[in-house]
Homo-oligomer: A and B are copies of this chain.
Amino acid sequence: MSNLQYVLEILGTLFFAISGVLAVRDHNADLFGATFTGFVTAIGGGTLRDIMLGSYPLTWISDILFLYAIMLGALVAYLFFKSLVRLSRTFLFFDALGISFFTILGVEKALSLGMRPEVAAIMGMFSAVMGGVIRDTLINETPVLFRKEIYATACLGGAVLYLILNHFGLDRDVNLIISSAFIFVIRLVAVKFKLALPNFKR
């Protein structure tokens, strides 16, 4: 794992923890419930990815820094809760950063374990969105996946972009930044302009 990969995985974990704590804003959670939600959001996607790949020990178990990143994220969310929630886009911002990093890191991990590109793309998307799906299931909201603006589609698009650029031999760290940025921009543009795929119910 390159230094850049490591730093982004820690940052993505921290961002997801923040988004998880902020997610309880409309719910009657106590401090502990909020922290728990932040924790599960932060580790959910990566844990599911590692379990499906049979890759042990799990990332957050093998490296205590991930736990500290989650605690730091939760602390930041507590301290600046009112300001963070008032800026209504904050939650979306941290969530978008989290899914961008986690998608590509998930793709890279699956590839490094010898998975086919199709499986790697799905694993990347799973890593990114499953933490949020578990978070939303916990707090009884419709999973973010089913809400209006392009979400998991952006992750899948970024994963495919990474695989194509990787196929043409682009440096992995450069590719990681480009493909993550692609997801992040698509996601924010989708939220800004309320872009959505056609509704399935015709």
Contacts and interface: CB of A to CB of B under 8 A. Distances in A.
A28 B137 contact: no
B30 A67 contact: no
Contact of A30 (B53, B137, B140, B198): B198
A91 interface: no
Nearest to A68: B118
Number of copies: 3
A197 B145 contact: no
B64 A145 contact: no
Q: Is the interface of A mostly helix, strand, loop or mixed?
A: helix
Q: How large is the interface on A (under 10, 10 to 19, 20 to 34, 35 or more residues)?
A: 35 or more
Interface string A22-53: 00111111111110100100000001000111
Interface string A157-197: 00000000000000000000000000000000000000011
Interface string A124-150: 000000000100011110110110000
A202 interface: yes
Nearest to A21: B200
A5 interface: no
A82 B156 CA distance: 27
A152 B36 contact: yes
A56 interface: yes
B146 A33 contact: yes
A67 to B, nearest CB: 6
Most chain B C-beta atoms within 10 Å of own C-beta, residue among A32, A39, A119, A199: A32
